[in-house]
């Protein structure tokens, strides 16, 4: 049955292509309970030769004991690694499986379908590049399919494969496939996926999973594996600006002071000017240090240590940003929150917010709106309980740099932690980092000028205004008194006093939002 060796089942070119030259694709599989998800993954692993014989032997023993396939191989048991899952016949938590073909290495996270375990599904989705969404050709889109699509889009999964399964039971009917595909494209159109492909397949018979089939001559697209091997999931690098949260300050000896972290977005280069946020200090990158030697640049995802060209204050939780396009530094965020705790949101309790390497205290307002995770529509919502998505305002006790989640998955997301139980209660996505006018008491720090006028410009305006005004005053005083000396004294006195008065008046107005629209600003 299994003559082919592991990994090389497909081709022998593997040996010619060293493993470290391959790219990595992380994907999740999701869908409703009986849509054949486990069979699909089983098929994928089996047909790529990724199930060792001893595991297959144990699987057949387990299938007889726990299986739901009347003694035949039940692939769900391969993935349901916890005894509670095998007993109950349901998937509780994400299972990770690994396989490789000559083209790519894959990490597949098989996620649970039950609503109760949505947070485990979200755990798998948060690191995935792509989601394979299963539907039964006879049933079409179900509520659960829509919920999974929506959560995948919320968590930043940008590529979707709609696998229309059990085509054999639907008579390989092209119209049935087209209807489901169109339904899905309609639903997913506004969720902003970068790519959507629909593939008709029959997982149990292995049709269009790894091998193509003659049963559906009307389908000219790739098999599932062929698509997974070729799909380009890289994000366009040119619209990503540098963000690097600092995890550690490295001071092994008096001669070295480096800042260790992982590049979250963009590209870091030596000589580049960076701003140390949330502060406003800037410095240049002197060295990019790794254990393999210094490098001239570092890309998103690389763990490195940087040395700056001057002594500036940098500590854990700070972020190095491209000085030309820094993040918005704010203490107020408009967010979408997916609540994952059994205890609902309590707006009167402070939570801890962790973003990058920074952890701060955060107050969460009660939501006014939320997203219906089954239809994708906006609904009125006044509280936030497990598995719900609310639109809420988050207020931090100190300012941090943020981007929108749409711009950067790494610097536009955060988690919320309950202070007492230490439980992760929510995953948050920044819709808008808000700059708002704060109370007048904190004028200097929290009340930046709205008009963008500098103090020097205000002073220049005061001079020009007074020169014009005082000239009029001197003329008027002379006309009334016919005393040149008196007119000159009145004019000169007024120039001095009114410049000061006008300057102060102008600086106060520069900070008053009255009559200036809009009061909020979104980072570009």
Partner 1 sequence: MRHTDHLHRLESESIHIFREVAAECDRPVLLYSIGKDSAVLLHLALKAFYPGKPPFPLLHIDTTWKFREMIAFRDRRAAELGVELLVHTNQEGLRQGIGPITHGSRLHTDVMKTQALKQALDLHRFDAAFGGARRDEERSRAKERIFSFRTPQHRWDPKRQPPEFWNFYNTRKGPGESIRVFPLSNWTELDIWNYIRHENIPIPQLYFAAERPVVERDGALIMVDDERLPLAPDELLERRRVRFRTLGCYPLTAAIESDATTIDAIIAELRQSRLSERSGRTIDHDSAASMEQKKVEGYF
What does the H/E/C string look like for 273-286? Answer: EEEEECCCCEEEEE
Burial class (CB in 10 A: 0-12, 13-18, 19+), 362: buried
Q: Please tell me whether residue 414 binds partner 1 under the rule CB under 8 A.
A: yes
Least distance from C-beta 215 to partner 1, angstroms? Answer: 30
Closest CA to 117 of 151, 83, 153: 151
Question: Should residue 422 be labelled a site residue for partner 1 when binding is judged by CB under 8 A?
Answer: yes
Q: Does 403 bind partner 1 (CB under 8 A)?
A: no
- Give start and end residues of each alpha helix (H) in 89-192: 118-125, 143-154, 174-188
Which residues face 329 on adjacent strands? 401
By CB under 8 A, is residue 60 in contact with partner 1?
no
Residue window 310-349: x/- pattern of binding to partner 1, with contact defined by CB under 8 A:
------x-----------------------x---------
Binder of partner 1 out of 120, 144, 149, 223 (CB under 8 A): 120
Pick one of 35, 47, 93, 403: the residue that binds partner 1 (CB under 8 A). 93
Q: How far is CA 521 from the centre of its chain?
A: 20
Cβ-in-10-Å burial (0-12, 13-18, 19+) of 311 comes to: exposed
Residue recorded with tokens 């920074």: 358
**Burial 445-484, CB ≥16 within 10 A → b, else e:** eebeebeeeeeeebeeebeeebeeebeebbeebbeeeeee
Binding to partner 1 in span 223-242, by CB under 8 A: 234
Q: Which of 72, 79, 84 is nearest to 40 (CA)?
A: 79
Angle at 442 between CA 440 and CA 447, to 5 degrees: 70
- The CB-of-64 to partner 1 minimum distance in angstroms stands at 12
> Which of 17, 34, 68, 98 lies at the binding interface for partner 1 (CB under 8 A)?
98
79 binds partner 1 (CB under 8 A): yes
Task: Examine residue 427 and tell whether it contacts partner 1 (CB under 8 A).
Answer: yes
Residues 188-207 close enough to bind partner 1 by CB under 8 A: none
User: Distance of alpha carbon 256 from its chain centroid, rounded?
Assistant: 34
Q: Which stretch binds partner 1 (CB under 8 A): 213-221, 243-251, 396-404, 438-446?
A: 243-251
84 binds partner 1 (CB under 8 A): yes
Q: Which pair of tokens denotes residue 204?
A: 């149990």
11, 13, 58, 296: residue in contact with partner 1 (rule CB under 8 A): 58
Q: Residue 414 corresponds to which tokens in the numbers above? A: 């955060």
End-to-end Cα spacing for the chain: 58
What is the spatial distance between Cα 259 and Cα 263, in angstroms, rounded to a whole number?
12
Does 387 contact partner 1 by CB under 8 A?
Answer: no
Total binding residues toward partner 1, as defined by CB under 8 A: 83
Q: Which stretch binds partner 1 (CB under 8 A): 2-10, 146-154, 377-385, 508-516?
A: 2-10
3-state SS, 169-193, equals CCCCCHHHHHHHHHHHHHHHHHHCC
Nearer to partner 1, 101 or 181 (CB): 101
Binding of residue 486 to partner 1 (CB under 8 A) = no
Q: Is 495 in the site for partner 1 (CB under 8 A)?
A: no
Among the listed residues 76, 94, 160, 381, the single contact to partner 1 using CB under 8 A: 94
Which of 37, 43, 46, 119: binder of partner 1 (CB under 8 A)?
Answer: 119
Scan residues 12-31 and list those touching partner 1 (CB under 8 A). 14-15, 18-24
Q: Does 186 bind partner 1 (CB under 8 A)?
A: no
383 binds partner 1 (CB under 8 A): no
The rounded distance, in Å, linking the Cα atoms of 110 and 216 is 27
- Closest alpha carbon to 378 in 390, 394, 387, 386: 390
Helix locations, 216-341, DSSP H: 224-230
- Which CB atom, from 320 or from 477, has the smaller least distance to partner 1? 320
Report the distance separating Cα 212 and Cα 219, nearest Å: 10
Nearer to partner 1, 297 or 431 (CB): 297
| Piece of the chain touching partner 1 by CB under 8 A; list 175-183, 246-254, 448-456, 473-481 | 246-254
Kindly state whether residue 33 participates in binding partner 1, applying the rule CB under 8 A.
no
Considering only residues 258 to 297 of the shown chain, the ones binding partner 1 according to CB under 8 A are 258, 260-262, 289-292
Interface pick for partner 1 out of 229, 302, 334, 365 (rule CB under 8 A):
302
Q: Is 451 in the site for partner 1 (CB under 8 A)?
A: no
Among 191, 352, 437, 438, binds partner 1 (CB under 8 A): 352
CB-nearer residue toward partner 1: 193 or 339: 339
Please tell me whether residue 92 binds partner 1 under the rule CB under 8 A. yes
The binder of partner 1 chosen from 101, 126, 145, 458 (CB under 8 A): 126
Q: Counting Cβ atoms within 10 Å, is residue 421 exposed (0-12), middle (13-18) or buried (19+)?
A: exposed
Candidate residues 28, 30, 122, 233; the one interacting with partner 1 per rule CB under 8 A: 122
């Amino acid at each position: 049955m299994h003559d082919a060796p592991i990994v090389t089942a497909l081709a022998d070119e593997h040996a010619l292509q060293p493993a470290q030259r391959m790219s990595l694709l992380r994907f999740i599989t999701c869908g409703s309970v009986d849509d054949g998800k486990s069979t699909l993954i089983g098929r994928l692993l089996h047909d790529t030769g990724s199930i060792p014989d001893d595991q297959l032997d144990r699987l057949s023993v387990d299938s007889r004991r726990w299986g739901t396939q009347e003694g035949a191989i039940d692939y769900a048991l391969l993935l349901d690694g916890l005894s509670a899952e095998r007993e109950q016949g349901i998937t509780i938590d994400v299972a990770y499986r690994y396989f490789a073909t000559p083209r790519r290495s894959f990490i597949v996270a098989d996620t649970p379908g039950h609503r109760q375990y949505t947070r485990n599904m979200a755990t798998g989705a948060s690191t995935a590049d792509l989601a394979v969404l299963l539907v039964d050709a006879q049933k079409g889109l179900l509520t659960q399919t829509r919920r999974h699509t929506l959560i995948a889009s919320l968590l930043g999964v940008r590529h979707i494969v709609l696998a229309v399964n059990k085509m054999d039971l639907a008579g390989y009917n092209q119209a049935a496939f087209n209807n489901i595909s169109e339904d899905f494209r309609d639903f997913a159109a506004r969720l902003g996926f970068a790519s959507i492909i629909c593939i008709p397949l029959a997982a149990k018979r292995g049709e269009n999973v790894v091998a193509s089939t003659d049963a559906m001559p009307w389908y000219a697209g790739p098999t599932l594996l062929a698509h997974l091997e070729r799909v380009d999931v890289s994000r366009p690098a040119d619209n990503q600006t540098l963000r690097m949260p600092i995890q550690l300050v490295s001071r092994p000896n008096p001669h070295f002071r480096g800042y260790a972290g992982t590049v979250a977005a963009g590209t870091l280069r030596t000589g580049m000017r960076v701003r140390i946020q949330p502060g406003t200090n800037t410095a240049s990158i002197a060295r990019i240090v790794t254990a393999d030697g210094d490098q001239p640049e570092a890309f998103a995802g690389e763990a490195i240590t940087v040395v700056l060209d001057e002594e500036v204050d940098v500590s854990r939780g700070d972020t190095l940003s491209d000085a030309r396009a820094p993040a918005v530094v704010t203490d107020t965020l408009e967010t979408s929150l997916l609540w994952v705790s059994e205890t609902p949101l309590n707006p009167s309790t402070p939570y801890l917010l962790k973003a990058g390497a920074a952890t701060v205290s955060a107050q969460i307002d009660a939501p006014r709106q939320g997203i219906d995770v089954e239809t994708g529509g906006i609904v009125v919502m006044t509280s936030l309980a497990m598995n719900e998505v609310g639109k809420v305002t988050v207020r931090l006790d100190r300012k941090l740099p943020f981007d929108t989640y749409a711009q950067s998955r790494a610097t536009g997301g955060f988690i919320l932690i309950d202070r007492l139980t230490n439980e992760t209660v929510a995953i948050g996505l920044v819709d808008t980092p808000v700059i708002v006018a704060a109370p007048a008491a904190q004028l200097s720090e929290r009340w930046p000028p709205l008009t963008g006028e500098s103090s020097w410009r205000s002073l220049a305006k005061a001079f020009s205004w007074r020169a014009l005004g005082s000239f009029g005053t001197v003329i008027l005083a002379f006309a009334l008194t016919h005393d040149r000396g008196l007119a000159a004294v009145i004019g000169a006195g007024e120039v001095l006093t009114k410049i000061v008065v006008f300057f102060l008046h102008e600086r106060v107005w520069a900070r008053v939002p009255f009559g200036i629209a809009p009061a909020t600003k979104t980072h570009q």
